[in-house]
Each structure stands twice: as structure tokens, then as C-alpha cells.
Amino acid sequence: MLFLILAFTINTNAQDGSVEKSIFGIQAGFGSRIGLWLNNESKLTNSIVLRSELGLENDFTVGDHYDGAGFILMPVITIEPKYYYNLLKRNSKGLNTKNNSGNYISIKTSYHPDWFVINLDDNITKTADLAIIPTWGLKRQLGNHFNYETALGFGYRIVYLKANYFNGNAQNVDDKQKRNQYIPFLHIGINYIF
């Protein structure tokens, strides 16, 4: 949050190298997660956007409560404030800043609701989780409608557990009904801009 306040203060008077007003796209990606996401980046200041995302993903770091389930897809809702810190520098060097092509830092906040999980045995209870991941990333334009994005981070996730039934047998969960995890994050994605 502190970096957002600092970024807002520093960049409220910037005129060149500003982020785009609003960008809609669809992204396919892999890394710590494989999936497909609809996304939007909306301008808050000249350097800060709010990225919102809806999608389906397989999350490799989801934990042992889905062990043995194989490849699964689950819904995800993400809100991510991004501070693009080098757009002015890229612009002054004549580098492309179209569709927010630049480097950024962000706080990625993702929620996997327990609505459904594709390719999960009906006898396994679905769980919800919330992850908050400070992230560093970069985005670069490829032609008129495509860009690629890569990001690295390390964060924290809370998994909200319920009594789980597998093959008709209840599996116990701890008294707190949640499990906390530290999680690494690596993402590489190709985005189509509408």
C-alpha cells in the first residue's frame, strides 16, 4: 500500500509515458499456474492501473488437499494494483509503451471460490483460498494486438478447509478450519488485446 501512495505522489504531474485509460484482453499462461483469463487494466493515475481478472486456472501450489486429483481447473477472481515505474524512461528513449509495455510492481490478490472444480471427483469437497502476492513483472508489446507478460513473486495464501469426503470416508481437518501457506509465484502469459 505504501508503494501505491508513493507512486501516486510522484506521478500525479507526469504527462508523457502515461498508462492506457482502459485495456481489455484475454490471456493464456503457464508457470505456477496454467489457465485462461479475461482481464482489464483501468487507469488510476499516470503510472498506476487496477487490473481485474476472471478466469479458470490450474494452480500447482494449491496444496495437498487436492492430492491425487490430476489436472484440475478452478475459477479465480483477481484484483491487482500495478505501478508501472519505467514508462517515462521507456518513452524518453523512444521505446514502445503501447498497452502499458513496461516494468511494474504489484500486489496480486486472488480468490479461488469453492463454486466448482473441473475434473475433480464428485466425492472430494471443493475448498476456497485467498492469496496475496507482492510481484515484480514486465509486459512487452508483440504487434498490434498481442503482448507477453512475465512476473515473479512470493506471497501468502489462506486455504479455507471443510470436512472432506473421499471414497465415502470423512477426512479430518484442523480446528481452525484453514491452512496457511507461503507460495512462490512465476507466470508467463500471452495476452490478446481487444
Q: Are 75 and 36 in contact (CB under 8 A)?
A: no
Res 9: pLDDT: 43
What is the percentage of the chain residues whose pLDDT exceeds 70? 75
Question: Which residues 6+ apart lie within 8 Å of 116 measured at CB?
Answer: 74, 75, 126
Map out the domains of the chain as residue ranges.
26-193
Mean pLDDT of the chain: 83
Give the tens place of pLDDT for each residue, 63-76: 555 666 667 889 99
Q: Are 124 and 170 in contact (CB under 8 A)?
A: no
Q: Which of 144, 141, 82 is nearest to 107 (CA)?
A: 82
Q: How many CB atoms lie within 10 A of CB 107?
A: 18
Res 76: pLDDT: 95
Helices (H) and strands (E) in the chain, counts: 2, 10
Q: How many CB atoms lie within 10 A of CB 111?
A: 13
Res 137: pLDDT: 98
Res 156: pLDDT: 95
Res 57: pLDDT: 93
Give the tens place of pLDDT for each residue, 127-162: 889 999 999 999 999 989 999 999 999 999 998 876
124 pLDDT higher than 80: no
Give the tens place of pLDDT for each residue, 9-53: 444 333 467 999 999 999 999 988 899 999 999 999 999 999 999
The class of domain 26-193 in CATH terms is mainly beta
Confidence of residue 89 (pLDDT cuts 50, 70, 90): very high
Q: Are 56 and 26 in contact (CB under 8 A)?
A: no
Q: Please give the backbone phi and psi of residue 40, each rounded to the nearest 5 degrees, phi first.
A: -145, 135
Confidence of residue 87 (pLDDT cuts 50, 70, 90): very high
Q: Which of 100-104, 123-127, 155-159, 171-175 has the lowest mean pLDDT?
A: 171-175
194 pLDDT higher than 90: yes
